[in-house]
Amino acid sequence: MRLREKYVPKAVYNVTPIFVAESEKASIKDVDGNEYIDFATGISCLNVGHRNPEVLKAVSEQMERYLHLCFHVTPYEPYVELAEKLATLAPGSFDKKVMLVNSGAEAVENAVKVARRYTGRPTIITFEYAFHGRTRLAMSLTGSVHPYKYGFGPLDLAVHRTPYAYCYRCSFGLKYPACNMRCVEYIRDTLAVHLSPDDVAAIIVEPIQGEGGFIVPPKEFILGLRKICDENGILLIADEIQSGMGRTGKMFAVEHFNVVPEMVTVAKSLGGGLPIAATIGRREIMDSVQVGGLGGTFGGNPLSCAAALKAVDTVQQLLINARKLGENLTGRIKEMHEKYEIIGDARGIGLMAGVELVADRKTKKPAKEERNQVLDECLKNGLIIIGAGPYKNVVRFLPPLNINEDLLDKGLDIFENAIKAVSAR
Ligand SMILES: Cc1ncc(COP(=O)(O)O)c(C=O)c1O
């Protein structure tokens, strides 16, 4: 840690002081020999578990063949196989094409590049509390200024932000369903008065917000966005970087809403622990870009493609488990919501769940300090779990989809004891 502090900038943050020695499935051992249950999975990158044996085998077999080639110089099969798999799996019965890149931010950047090129329109509609990454455009689409955008301007100007369906803290002070989805109608008003639809290329939305606090919107929200897009020739981009790859018990979270977007971004768990991301889109949209307009040296590198091919297959086999364990998880946090005043809201689908801590249930004052104490208490007792939310008062649960049931319960017991301990202070 002393060397880390000397050589790595403080901005490149750490949320725990743990240096890892080894990891397996849902467990981490640190260099001091301490063992932890992992409910963070490298921010949702290990839906198939740490060091999944199938993924390891695929990677080591690929290592025997070749490492880097650059798809633009000498194409290779795993890239194309993965593109075919993702095109087949992504929602929509239309033909799709897939571009592989290295990170979530890059997948988002490329989705926006393609959407702007296809529509010939500049503006992207994005949401309050959204998180889409840290490169210039992705950070411009991101909601919270602190810490993501502060001091990094000028940002991309053709970005229009509008309220998300964060019903627990409705931006309009209304209550669902009496609100009649004011947040959707507000976009309609905006497009009638303030912003010409002819200038809007796409709406980019996380079907369930991740960094924004694990916010699950009502079905009508995502359906409403689809309708607005259809009415105005606007593309819908689903950012599934955190919510995709089986996290919610379906391959893509947007499937819970019966909505088909024109474009989908995936990253994180796609590589089963290796860096890879994808921009998936309707064939004619993806093909609207001139040759050479998209690309990158490392995009879809062979090792990551081999890992992803196995990770995707494995996730497909784990969907039922994710749904079943998801019921245990959401059931437990809802029980805790009944029991502990400090839990203002408990929400989630599948294994994408979060609790929001408040100092007072009436005023909903965010309990940021207490949330940090809960995370610390969990860590002390062997559970790695991380926060989320613009008010830094949400705890998010991201266990692997193949965690064993007892370990999930054990982790939840540690969490509940932490809530009890902090509530008693
Ligand atoms: C929804 C969403 N989009 C984009 C990103 C950015 O991904 P990356 O950190 O791989 O650039 C994230 C990362 O947390 C995310 O959750």
pLDDT digits (tens, 9 = 90+) for 97-124: 999 999 999 999 999 999 999 999 999 9
Q: How far apart are CA 230 and CA 205, in angstroms?
A: 15
Please calculate the CA angle 242-22-401 and round it to the nearest 5 degrees: 35
Binding site membership of 396 for ligand 1 (Cβ less than 6 Å): no
Residue where the block lists tokens 């086999």 = 317
Q: CA nearest 272: which of 35, 53, 14, 22? A: 53
Whose Cα sits closest to atom 7 in ligand 1?
104
User: What letter does residue 155 receive in the DSSP assignment?
Assistant: P
Quote the tokens at residue 163: 């309220």
Binding site membership of 165 for ligand 1 (Cβ less than 6 Å): no
Encoded amino acid at 270, one letter: L
Q: How far apart are CA 372 and CA 376, in angstroms?
A: 6
Mean pLDDT for the stretch of residues 219-239: 98
Q: How far apart are CA 239 and CA 205, in angstroms?
A: 6
Please calculate the CA angle 60-66-68 and round it to the nearest 5 degrees: 110
Give the pLDDT band (50/70/90) at residue 272.
very high
Atom number in ligand 1 closest to CA 133: 6
Whose Cα sits closest to atom 8 in ligand 1?
104
Cα-to-centroid distance, 56 and ligand 1 (Å)? 24
Give me the percent of the chain exceeding a pLDDT of 70.
100
Mean pLDDT for the stretch of residues 26-33: 98
Q: How far apart are CA 365 and CA 385, in angstroms?
A: 22
Whose Cα sits closest to atom 4 in ligand 1?
132
| Ligand 1 pocket test target in 126, 241, 269, 279 with most atoms within 8 Å of CB | 241
Residue length of the chain: 425
pLDDT digits (tens, 9 = 90+) for 34-74: 999 999 999 999 999 999 999 999 999 999 999 999 999 99
Residue 234 CA: distances (Å) to CA of 97, 199, 237, 373: 19, 9, 10, 44
pTM of the model: 0.98
Binding site membership of 109 for ligand 1 (Cβ less than 6 Å): no
pLDDT of residue 96: 98
User: What letter does residue 195 receive in the DSSP assignment?
Assistant: S
Give the pLDDT band (50/70/90) at residue 197.
very high
Give the pLDDT band (50/70/90) at residue 240.
very high
Binding site membership of 108 for ligand 1 (Cβ less than 6 Å): yes
Binding site membership of 211 for ligand 1 (Cβ less than 6 Å): yes
Q: Tell which phi-psi region holds residue 264, choosing left (phi > 0), alpha (psi between -120 and 50) or beta.
A: beta
Atom number in ligand 1 closest to CA 277: 10
Binding site membership of 212 for ligand 1 (Cβ less than 6 Å): no
| Ligand 1 pocket test target in 242, 248, 269 with most atoms within 8 Å of CB | 242
pLDDT of residue 93: 97
Q: How far apart are CA 423 and CA 425, in angstroms?
A: 6
Question: 346 pairs with which residues across the strands?
Answer: 355
Residue 319 CA: distances (Å) to CA of 39, 169, 350: 18, 31, 9
Binding site membership of 131 for ligand 1 (Cβ less than 6 Å): yes
Quote the tokens at residue 226: 């689809």
Residue 111 burial class via C-beta count within 10 angstroms: exposed 0-12, middle 13-18, buried 19 and up = buried
Binding site membership of 112 for ligand 1 (Cβ less than 6 Å): no
Binding site membership of 269 for ligand 1 (Cβ less than 6 Å): no
Whose Cα sits closest to atom 10 in ligand 1?
104
Atom number in ligand 1 closest to CA 43: 14
Q: CA nearest 38: which of 30, 29, 22, 27? A: 27
Question: Is 414 strand, coil or helix?
Answer: helix
Mean pLDDT for the stretch of residues 367-372: 98
pLDDT of residue 123: 98
Q: How far apart are CA 255 and CA 258, in angstroms?
A: 5
pLDDT of residue 360: 97
Cα-to-centroid distance, 205 and ligand 1 (Å)? 12
Q: How far apart are CA 356 and CA 346, in angstroms?
A: 6
Atom number in ligand 1 closest to CA 108: 4
Binding site membership of 110 for ligand 1 (Cβ less than 6 Å): no
Atom number in ligand 1 closest to CA 130: 1
Alpha helices in 120-205 (DSSP H): 136-141, 182-193
Binding site membership of 242 for ligand 1 (Cβ less than 6 Å): yes
254 neighbors 209 (Cβ within 8 angstroms): no
Encoded amino acid at 108, one letter: V
Atom number in ligand 1 closest to CA 103: 10
Whose Cα sits closest to atom 13 in ligand 1?
133
Mean pLDDT of the chain: 98
